Structure 1
Amino acid sequence: MTSSTENSTGHKRLTRAGLALVTTSALFLGACGFGGGGDDSAEGAGLNPGDYTVATNEGVSDSVVVNGTIEPIRSVNISTPVQSEVEKVAVKAGDRVQPQQFLASMNSEQLERQLEVQQKQQANAQADAQAQVDQARAALNAHQESVNNGTNEAIRAAQAQVNQAQAAYDAAVAANGGPRMINRGIAAVERAAGDISSNLGIRTAPPAAPAAPAAPEAPAVPAPEQVPGQLSPEQLAQLTGENAGGGAGSGAAVGAGMSVEEASAALQDAKAGLAAAQSAAAQEGNQLQAQLDSATRQAETAQLGDGDGTLEYQVRESTIYAPMAGLVTSVDVREGDIPQGKLLTIADDSRLVIRTDVRESDVPNVKEGDRVEFTTTATGKKTFKGRVTRIAPASDSVASGNQNPMQGMPQQGNNKSSEVTFPVEIEVTGDKEGLLLGGSARAEIITAEAKDALNVPLDAVYGEDNDQKVLVLATDGDDATSGTVEERKVKTGASNDVDVAVTGGELKPGDIVINWPDEYQGRLGESVEITDPNFNPDQVRQAREKKERTTATVTVTSTRRAAEGQQ
């Protein structure tokens, strides 16, 4: 697509071009000796067609003209993950659909059978998993109940041993006279042990006088083999016997059953056994809780089935509904087909856009929000409105990845295919009646505009930017056909290749502006007549009264003499 810069007031340009052709013909005839002597000099001549313009409040605009295509604001391709034949198609191209409207369906019999088998397997797995959960929970509850009510066998046995050991310990303590009698018995044993040690020491002394009668009995305790302070088994037995005879009955209890020390040690062992049984029961409870947690997780996994729900998704997607309201622009399958891509396309035509391209040289002048007027081939001369909504920051060549380093540089032969263009999007505003999706449009992007400003030819303004002027023919009345050449200061605004807007200064609506000031600057103050036979004083009157023109009454407000040498 290419674009070109043109004036927005196309009708006026066409009118001026026609008048310019008439003027050119008149000048040619004048040069040949027809129509008044052949002198084309402005000296002493009046204002002919193309020499003047009646200043009016028509406004001035500059624009960029582009060609584009009318498209929907968005378009959706409908497809399906189901790889089976198309069972039914309920719409055709051109149909208008609403959200969730039925569009098509795929054959899903095989998928439904697979889903039924999967669901049965899933139900069985869920039942088995739930049974495991129930079994684990029952085992944990039974264990906790046995611990809480004292029926746990291991703990009961250990507790019985503790009870027996406690009874034995209590009996041993009682048999030895309680703690005080035990201490006395220990002291008596220690004294007896000291006496025996003393006796052993005497017997290990050197032999006495020969007259001693007890000498023959000395070998019964062989002194050389005995260690001082150590009790032999016989002496310990004797000590126990003596202690038993003089220990107030305590020795008899110990000798007959278990000593207090032994009973105490047995009691401690029993208590340790009880603690071990309780610890083992707690550990068993933790293991049963872990088994219950594991069974619960397995049941949750079984509840999810295959996890991703592929079959359910495919069965659900075998029936296709419209995702939005819009227009069916294409149907790409028929009943019985196995689709390899999209099934159909829906366009959201609630908003329309024109997608076009703008030349690189024109992009700086185009802005988002610029007003647009366009026509289409299908609607003829009917004018529609729009606005620029997007200017792509990258050219078409960059977006497609086919950038040429020399693209955009001046080429010999003016090859238009080498021009760099940028995508631009124009949204249609207002009336859309008659616009066709995919239709071609010729759009005029208004890049500069001065509404209701005085409109004069660009060539009529002369001077520097801060001292711009125009020449006017000041008449005495609205019906006058002659006047005096005068100079007016002006300030200008928006312009195009033909016209410029006068936004301030001394120029007023209805003033007759001289189009070619170079030819009349030397005649300031002189009286000049309008010799254009088509001049109508009503033009001046209407412009001064600021009456709006209608399409039913078209008044030519500007005539432009063709450039010299134009044929």
Structure 2
Amino acid sequence: MVAFSETAILKKTDLISSIGGTGTVESNRSLMVYSTQAYPVKAVHVKVGDYVEAGELLCELDASALINQIETQELTTGVSAKAALSQVKSASDNYSAAKELLDEGLNTAVLAAENNVRATHDAWQKAQRMYSTALNSSDNPTLTAADAAYTSALSAFEAAKTNFNSAEQAYNLAKANFEAMLPPSDNSAAILLAESVLAAAQAALQAALVEDPVNQQKVLQARSVLEAAEHNLLIEKQKALGSDEYQAALAAFNASSGAKNTAQAALANAQSALNSAKAQREAAYLNSDSQLKEYAYAKDSAYSNYRAALISLESAEKSAKAQLKSSKNALNSARANANTDAALLRLAQMQEDLENTRIKAEEGGTVTAVYAKVGASGAGLLFVIEDVSDLRVESAVSGYDIGALKPGMAVTIKSDATGDALIKGSLSRIAPTSQKNALGQSNPTGDVLFSTEVKVADANSGLLIGMNARLKYLIEERKDVLAVPFDALFEKENAETYILVLSEQKNGKHKIDELIVNTGLESDLMVEVYGEGVREGLRLLNNPGEFRHLIGSELMLVEDSPALDSIRSIRPFAAMRQG
């Protein structure tokens, strides 16, 4: 006996071949905020999890001692030196602001020029597409309709011409046939004579009826003469009409003449329709050529505007750099004009240090670490600011599997925190070399690993920085394939791969047969099978090792039961004895 639970029905499924891995969630954009000032921390204004904007104050250092030093230094510095120092500071601020705008791409003139480049480029691309569409006449509905109408009219004209040629041939044949017939002889005199004889016979009959109504013999003779006169007149008239063949030829000739006239009229109408369709088609193409020229002009104009915008952008960038250089020159000039004695230089440095005691965020983001503590030294790493919506998973793949990976391939991500949710990602980076040890050498003995980075596609994935994640690099996917568990396969000495299948017999039992299969794509648990006789709906044994010694036997397929569990326990030993 074999239980239903020990079998499976072969059916189609979707298989995904993948490579697994683990990694750590990191941000794609991290900012370490450092300070070189050793003054104690006076106040911390943010905590972990706070979102800060660029320029927002993070913490303040206690600069009271520094302020006292600056005040003392200012008392020992002359008024003119202070004015020069103020000029130096103003020029320095102007230079720093101009440099920051240029470095960050925020210069208004350059931004306007860049926007104009994008706008003119889009307009040029749009004009190019419209020109290409107009150039391809198959995409022009007006030309397509005109071509179709002309083709239809041409076909109708050709059909009418063929019909007319056929009608003309039939007419010529009927005419020749008719003309070949002997015309009827001219017997008009005989007809006149027969008519006069008929009139005399009619008069004689009337006279006979009047003169002697009782004498039927005379009346009968008169009637006989009349009938003979009528028959003679009919014969003479028939002779005037000609033979039956002549009459048939005449009828055919008349009919073919009418058909020819009808076909000739239809041909004239078809020719007129063709001329009209041809004229409309030529007008459509002429109009299309005019539109094409307009599209070409618009395309060329848009390209000229785009080129002009590029030149304007280049000019704006040069102007911004020139302004930066001018600010730099002004700073240098202010410094040159200033009294550069030691006291003044110390004052300038102290004022810069005072500005640096206010620690600000250089970029916006979420505070993910706070190392600054009130009262502690302000030197070193104080904060970490990261973009928590733009994440990646840093991982490593063995040298055995790395050849199957390609940048851009799909990756699925799971974590304990997100449960069974499949988070989409893509492989964004593969390290060009394997990981190194502390000496900068590849691992000569253990597994060779290559670092990878997987970009998280969903900004609201639920993943958090620092989480451990499980990855699956999706190598290949096939849909609607027949697949079995790996355990359902076995090999024999001939190196062929087999499965055991059950086929129902007439007696209600199921016979065990082996079936050769070819294997294809593999997933974690399943493998694709195909080959002769492999079809959907087959019932197969999940564990063929327990039944190989029963190939060819017939078994009952039953539900699970304690008795069946006892039989299962002795199957391996039976298989071993059989082996």
Q: TM-score range by the shorter chain?
A: 0.3 to 0.5
TM, length-normalised to structure 1: 0.44
Q: Which has more helix, going by share of residues?
A: 2
